[in-house]
Amino acid sequence: MASSSSSAPAVGPEIPWVEKFRPTKVADIVGNEDAVARLQVIARDGNMPNLILAGPPGTGKTTSILALAHELLGPNYREAVLELNASDDRGIDVVRNKIKMFAQKKVTLPPGRHKIIILDEADSMTSGAQQALRRTMEIYSNSTRFALACNTSSKIIEPIQSRCALVRFARLSDQEILGRLMVVVAAEKVHTFSVCDKYAVLNYTLLEQLSSKLSVKSVNVLNVVTFLISEMHFPAFI
Ligand SMILES: Nc1ncnc2c1ncn2[C@@H]1O[C@H](COP(=O)(O)OP(=O)(O)OP(=O)(O)O)[C@@H](O)[C@H]1O
Ligand SMILES: [Mg+2]
C-alpha cells in the first residue's frame, strides 16, 4: 500500500515509515487470512460485536482495529471513536469517567453502526479497571462497542472475554514480512541499505540476498523489520 506521495521524496517533517505504510484498509493487512476475512465481513455488514484481538506484537492488531473503525464510521470517526492506548491512564477512574462519559454521549450514526472504544494493550489494565469496564460494556451495548487489543487474551477477565468475539492473530511468516518490506523498499526506491539489530550491522546490496539471509535469522526478522521501518535514519541509504 504505497500512498501516492510515496514515490516523491518526502518534504517537510518525515512521517515514520511504520505510520506511512500502516495499512488503512482491512483488506490490505498482510497474513492472518481468517482474522482478516472475519473483520472484512464486519466492515461490510456493520454490527461490530465487542472484539478482542489477541496475538504477538507487530502482527497488525492495532492496525486492524483502526482500519475497521475507519471503514465502519468514515466521516464520523472523530466523534464516534475513543482511542485509549497503553500510554493513557486506563485505571479504574478513567473507566468510570472518561470511558463512561464517551459511552453515554449521543452520536447519530447510520443503522448498524456503533460508537467504538478502542483499548490498546488491554491486558495491561488492572482487574479493577476491567471489572468496571465489564459493567460499562453491558450497560451501553446498544450504542457502544469495544475493541480490545492484547498479546494474551487470558489476561482479560473472563466476563469480558465471554462478551467478546475473539480474533486471533499469529506471527507472520518471513515471506509475508519480506513481501511487505519489499513494498516499502520499492515505494521508497531503496536500492542499497543496512539492516541493523542490536548485535549486527548487515549490508546487502541485492534485495534477493536480504530475503535469504534474513530467513536464517527468522526469530529476529520481525524485530529487524520493525526496527528498519521505525528507525529509518540510517546513513547507509543510497
Ligand atoms: N499484518 C500486517 N500487515 C501489514 N503491515 C503490518 C502488519 N502487521 C504490522 N504491520 C506494520 O507494523 C506496524 C505495527 O503494527 P501494529 O501496531 O498493528 O501491531 P500490533 O499487533 O498492534 O503490535 P503490538 O502488540 O506491539 O501493539 C504497522 O504500522 C504496520 O506498518
Ligand atoms: Mg498494538
Using CA atoms, how far apart are residues 105 and 216, in angstroms rounded to an integer? 52
Instruction: Give the orientation angle of helix 174-187 with respect to helix 218-230, to 10 degrees.
Output: 20
Please check the confidence at residue 153 and state whether its pLDDT lies above 70: yes
More reliable by pLDDT, 10 or 3: 10
Q: At residue 138, what are phi and psi to the nearest 5 degrees?
A: -65, -50
More reliable by pLDDT, 154 or 193: 154
Assess whether the C-beta atom of 102 lies below 6 angstroms from ligand 1.
Answer: no
More reliable by pLDDT, 215 or 5: 215
Q: Output the residue whose Cα is nearest ligand 1's atom 7.
A: 60
What's the CA-to-centroid distance between 179 and ligand 2, angstroms? Answer: 21
> Taking ligand 2, which is a single-atom ion, which protein residues have CB atoms under 5 Å away?
62
Residue tagged 472523530 (cell numbers)? 78
**What is the dihedral sign for C-alpha 233, 190, 211, 205?**
negative
What's the CA-to-centroid distance between 66 and ligand 1, angstroms? Answer: 11
Task: Determine the average pLDDT of the residues in 177-203.
Answer: 55
* pTM of the model as a whole: 0.80
Task: Determine the average pLDDT of the residues in 202-221.
Answer: 41
Assess whether the C-beta atom of 31 lies below 6 angstroms from ligand 1.
Answer: yes
3-state secondary structure of 68: helix
What's the CA-to-centroid distance between 26 and ligand 2, angstroms? Answer: 15
Q: Output the residue whose Cα is nearest ligand 1's atom 9.
A: 60
Please check the confidence at residue 150 and state whether its pLDDT lies above 70: yes
User: By CB neighbour count within 10 A (0-12 exposed, 13-18 middle, 19+ buried), where does 154 fall?
Assistant: exposed
More reliable by pLDDT, 132 or 185: 132
3-state secondary structure of 97: helix
Q: Which atom of ligand 1 is nearest the CA belonging to 57?
A: 25
Residue tagged 518525515 (cell numbers)? 14
Assess whether the C-beta atom of 20 lies below 6 angstroms from ligand 1.
Answer: no
Query: What's the whole-number average pLDDT of the chain?
Result: 78
Using CA atoms, how far apart are residues 216 and 221, in angstroms rounded to an integer? 9
- Give residue 27's pLDDT band: very low, low, confident or very high (50, 70, 90): very high
Lowest mean pLDDT among 45-49, 62-66, 123-127, 225-229: 225-229
Residue 103's identity, in one-letter code, is: A
Ligand 1 pocket mutation pick from 59, 153, 173 by most atoms within 8 angstroms of CB: 59
Please check the confidence at residue 129 and state whether its pLDDT lies above 80: yes
Please check the confidence at residue 9 and state whether its pLDDT lies above 50: no
Assess whether the C-beta atom of 151 lies below 6 angstroms from ligand 1.
Answer: yes
